[in-house]
Structure 1
């Protein structure tokens, strides 16, 4: 059984040119699965049945292995059996219809209005901080992804019209977005003192080069620590806050979906974690049978 795993890993390495990370994961997954099979006295891969794979995944789940890791384990086993079948070493794929437990969706981390205000109304002390504040305002104003902000070019923004174009969003889909008044002011301030550069990027370094995603993350972390925000803040948290605050105010999930560039509305629905008291208030005001009549 070990020899078959080694042959499969060699196939992935030579024929498929899989990454070292993939090779390591698949090899580890299959060795763990082999050990499990051996505890069941299974002597070769052909003896493994559908229920054995189910038992294995259930056991790893009880051990606290997360859904994504379990899905990868199943992918490893399925790929391995396809390899065996292609070599005439098997007639069935016991992992074919086995599914991993669904992963619980974690609510996105957001900042409240007071935290956003403290973050964005602090005064910049340098040209770099003027640039940084423009970036952070734009994150929260337009709900951009980190990659979208880093890729933004000068020709993509129209400050007079208060809008921008994301040319390559997720799935290579373009979309037009509004820019809020505060963000327009912050960007204008930055462009007035922007470093000389032939690069068309809106946000550049002191060397005139497009600012990378990691640099943006580090600048946000530095800004938050400087201004006493103890919570760890990352760029996507500003996007989450944009979506959450806009949805709470407008109750228009379709509009928020469009602004975020989500293909499926189910992705946007994660932001509907509204306060129960607020929902109760809306219910009491709107539902015709909710009002208590005085006798």
Structure 2
């Protein structure tokens, strides 16, 4: 049986079970183009290694390719379509060199204060109140940009202070409570009329806003006010600031983490832990918590 036939059957099986399976399907088809029109049994470990890592440095893309191919051959072996797997068994550790920028309160204030001037630029298509509300929601609710732009008018409950995120990154929907100040900011830019299935955030031509436009406006804004960082770092900042608030409130942080993970829409807590970048204020709070714990043990001893 050919590699192409097995890949097609495997993709069809996964999608028939309700999975989108778009990323793995694209990776597997890319491998098929790399390997050529060959029989499944003719796939060699050398061809596999060349596809997995054409460059010297191991990246997260290597892991995504490896996972997709490993599962493909597991499927083939369990159905008697293959007797062996050419996928490497050794999985190298991917160095995590990226560190997100955690915005300080002062930097957040500078970003918000600069919105009016930034959105007054010639040919700017997003009104200042709309863009300010978008930034507040990205930070205040820790949303992904795709989730923000996918919000419909009917998904925003201004009466009770909540938003509905529909089938996001991990194909799950979630209902998020938001505070009164954030609710008021959304109310100020809510489209007129009865809530419906149209996008909540629209540009000045009453059209949906593309991702690239939001990124372009943010790059111009942070350059204008002299702040480093990416748009997605607002989500990282939300997670770190929430953790810092829990420490200051004396909450049991380990017990609170699953709630944060659910709010962010993560499939596993490990995904949330990647967002929790250590900053001096967080380190100080953690150190004080440990000091109180240690001193308490010494005292009781």
Q: Is the TM value for this pair above 0.5?
A: yes
Mean alpha-carbon deviation: is it higher for 241-250 or for 70-79?
70-79
Aligned pairs for 1:1-295 (under 5 A) are 26-28=32-34, 30=35, 63-69=56-62, 72=65, 92-95=84-87, 98-105=89-96, 106-122=98-114, 124-125=116-117, 128-191=127-190, 200-229=198-227, 231-234=228-231, 236-250=232-246, 251=253, 252-274=256-278, 275=280, 276-287=283-294, 288-289=296-297
Deviation per CA, 1:49-77, whole angstroms, max 9, x where unpaired? 8xx899x68x9699323253265268569
* Distance in 2, Cα, partners of 1:81 & 1:289: 51
CA 9–277 in structure 1, closer or farther in 2 if over 3 Å, else same: same
Judge conservation of contact 2:152–2:199 (CA < 8 Å) in 1: yes
The residue aligned with 1:38 is none
Mean alpha-carbon deviation: is it higher for 69-78 or for 209-218?
69-78
TM superposition shift of 1:240: 1.1
CA 258–60 in structure 1, closer or farther in 2 if over 3 Å, else same: closer
Scaled by the length of structure 1, what TM-score is found? 0.68
Judge conservation of contact 2:138–2:144 (CA < 8 Å) in 1: yes
CA 66–233 in structure 1, closer or farther in 2 if over 3 Å, else same: closer
Unaligned runs of 5+ in 1: 1-6, 32-43
Deviation per CA, 1:8-67, whole angstroms, max 9, x where unpaired? 579979xx8999986555555x59xxxxxxxxxxxx969x68xx899x68x969932325
The residue aligned with 1:3 is none
CA 258–10 in structure 1, closer or farther in 2 if over 3 Å, else same: closer
CA 227–45 in structure 1, closer or farther in 2 if over 3 Å, else same: same
Counterpart secondary structure, 1:164 = strand
TM superposition shift of 1:278: 2.8
The residue aligned with 1:37 is none
* Distance in 1, Cα, partners of 2:275 & 2:60: 22
Counterpart secondary structure, 2:239 = helix
TM superposition shift of 1:244: 1.1
* Cα RMSD (Å): 4.5
TM superposition shift of 1:186: 2.4
* Distance in 1, Cα, partners of 2:70 & 2:171: 32
The residue aligned with 1:41 is none
Deviation per CA, 1:183-202, whole angstroms, max 9, x where unpaired? 2332233238x79x997211
Unaligned runs of 5+ in 2: 13-23, 121-125, 247-252
Judge conservation of contact 1:257–1:268 (CA < 8 Å) in 2: yes
TM superposition shift of 1:150: 0.7
